Structure 1
Amino acid sequence: MRDSDPVDSLLLMRVGLYFGPACFFILTALWTKLLVEGTISTGVFVVLVVANVPITLAGIALIYRSIGGTATLLANTLTAAGDIPPPPSYPNQDVLIAQGKYAEAAEYFRDHVRVDPADCDARLRLAELYERHLADPEGAEQQYLEARRGSADPRRQFTATNALIDLYRRTGRRDRLTVELARFAERYRGTPHGEAAARELKELKAEARG
C-alpha cells in the first residue's frame, strides 16, 4: 500500500461526510418541490429520489478528484514539480516548539547538529529559535554562518544570507549588515533581490558619510 493511501482515504471520508448528506438533502428538496408544484409525477419523484444515491456518489468522487488534483499541483509547485525534496522534519523539536518549550527544543537541535554537523536545515531551525524565542542573536549568527558555510545548496545559502541580513538589521550591526548586503548584491546581481540589497547598501553608505 502506498504511504499516501491513509491520507487519501481520510480525504475521501471527509468529502463524503461534508458533501454527501447536504447533496442528498438538496436534491430531495428539489424533487419534492417539483412534485408539489405538479411538474413531475409521483413515479418520477420516486425514480429521482432513488437516483439521488448515484448522483451524490458521483459528486463526491468529482470533488475528491478535484481536491486531490489541486493538492498534488500545489505540492509539485512548491517543490518544483517534485525535483526539490521537502525540508526534513524534526518531530521531537516540533512538539516542544508547539508547547512553547523553546529552550528544550534548542537543546535537541544542538544535540542533533553535534551528531550530524552537516545538517544545515537543523542549523537554520536552531538559529531561528535563538533569534526569535531565546534572545540570543550571537547564537543565531553562529548557526546561520555555519549553515551557509556547510551547504553548497544555493537555496540554503540564500536563506542563510538573507537571515543574516535581517538579523544584523534588527540588532543594528551596521558593519556586518554592510558586508552581507555587499555579498548579497554581488551574488544575486541582476535579480530583484540583488537590486534591493544594492539599494539598501547605497543608502547605508550615504548615511555613513553623513
Structure 2
Amino acid sequence: MPTTLLLASRNAKKLAELRRLMVTEAIEGIDVVGLDEVPPFDEAPETGETFEANALAKAVDGCAATGLACLADDSGLEVDALRGMPGVLSARWSGRHGDDQANVDLLLGQLTDVPDERRGGAFVSACAVVTPDGAQTVVRGEWRGRVARAPLGDNGFGYDPIFVPDEDADRGAGTVAGRTAAQLSAAEKDALSHRSRALEQLIPLLRELGSLGG
C-alpha cells in the first residue's frame, strides 16, 4: 500500500500543486490527502512570528492527530516598501482570514503612492514535514517580483493577481508591467513559484517516504 501523506490544508489549488509535483517528479508510493479527507481535529491558530514556525506547528499537529506523515505550508507576500509586511499576516491582512479580495484591495491602497521602482517584494513559502517517528524537516522558498497597480488574471489565488514575477516582467528599470502570477499557466507557475522552490527541496524526503509503502 502507498504511504499516505497529509497536506495540512483545505486549499484545493495547493493540493493540486503537490499532486502535480508527485507526477512530474515521478515520485511513487505516496497518496496525498488534504484536511477534508481525514477526521476533523483541533487545529492550532497560526501565531508564529515566522513562516517556518507556523508551517512546523501545523505539520506537528496534523501528524499527532492522524498518525500520518504531514506536510504543511505557510506562505505569504513580503513587500519591501512595507518592511516585509504583510508577511505571516498575509491571509488576514484585511482583518478577515482568507478574504483574498479585501487583502488585495487593502495592500494596493497602501501602495498607491509608491513608485514602480520601489514596489519590489517576494512570495515566501516555508514547508515542513513531520513523520510519525518524530523527524522534522523545514525548508524555505522565495519568488521575487513586483506588486502591480491593479489585479490581472484568474489562474491563481491570494495575491497572485497583483504579483509580477521578475522572470516575466517586461524589461526596463523599475517596471511593474508584465504577466502576473495569476496569468501564468499551472506549468509555468510550478516551474517558478515560491512553493515549488520549497517543495523541490523536499523531493529526496518524499521519495524516501514513497519507498516505505508496502
**Scaled by the length of structure 1, what TM-score is found?**
0.26
Higher relative contact order (CA 8 A, sep 6+): 2
Larger Rg: 1
The structure with more strand, counted as a fraction of residues: 2
